[in-house]
Structure 1
């Protein structure tokens, strides 16, 4: 068993995601069915039990992961050799989950250097799977990918990432991404209402974390498109509370009937059009 040490509090939140995928795998009828996350959890010395009562987070986390898996598979069919980049990858096991379905894809996992070191120690590499030890705000990794792959088709995935950034810094990052690459960005976003009204300390899982506040919410996909409408096109959104309705607790089903709660966190797909098009 390995104890993990993180250099910032936000990085520790990756343990919530991997544990929720582990709990889902142990269910009789899993949504995501991810054995790789269970194998990771079993290697870590950590008090995961504190998350056992976070029922909304468990369901939402695996629905979000399943949505992004399905969208990645759908969109990857547009490219001969898709480049799939997980931004803030943490301990996500998507390359292992999708490598059989996408044998021609290249997978890149980007996160802070200390997180990548933990990832590389705990997770086996999928085929054609590479690490990028950078802050996603350090745009030098973008130049590295362009130098290697030119104008290939990219799918960028930000899962459980955006809410920890100030909006202006995230907006600058997103515009730079959209102007440099062509393909798609998959991201979940909290609503402005939910960030304003609900402190992370009241969240069923995040209340167990220290100093990792929610900072950013958006008004909707049209707002993100408006950051640079020449390079960003809002393509799709999905509300997790409207998906797999039978799998939610009574509280979750009641929340799905209230728009402010139902729209508190959604998954989005954006098409990005690099400056060469």
Structure 2
């Protein structure tokens, strides 16, 4: 089955108001920015997003956030996005903060049909006991808090440990970015851009991928596939300009040794 779409706009055209969406990326790496911008043009609002973070101010998911299109976020990091923090603390946005490892496993579990799993992360904290602020009111009061979660002691006698039950995440749609894909939807991610993309793609009932390079079916070695096409419903090839839109979140420099004979000339 050829899963290619002619444009990002066509691929996201049916995403309605109130849809839940898993989105790949980590910081500014591996972010499906073309699909996000196409969704912005569609005008869908009241979106529920599951992603590691919500982009930065004015880029990535931050573009949807800036226009008030997102109403709820499951994420592990608020980080560099001041608009995200402002909307959360100001009561405009509901945020379920989840540790990165747990978030990744919740998405993966959703894609594999596992409804829930036990983990040691969060035991003995408000993650398990409940009370984490999910939404604030206009006066700074907490109006929605996380509920308590089931805990259980698991292990052989004498070595039992307490674990907390975390539910899987399954979303209506997923948006991911890959370096290469074929017409059947098999995807290959580039180095650190792999990050949350495979598990986000697994969690969506309808997964849409933008790819830098589109190849014919059979050209990707099966051993090199990071996300099988069974999880991918739609695929869009990026143009050269869109594929090169790769901003750097933080530019750092270091002193470099001066080559022999160049002292005083630099």
Same fold flag (TM > 0.5) = no
Structure ID, larger Rg: 2
TM-score calculated relative to the size of structure 2: 0.34
The one of the two structures with greater contact order (alpha-carbon pairs below 8 A, sep at least 6) is: 2
TM-score calculated relative to the size of structure 1: 0.33
Indicate the structure with greater helix content: 1
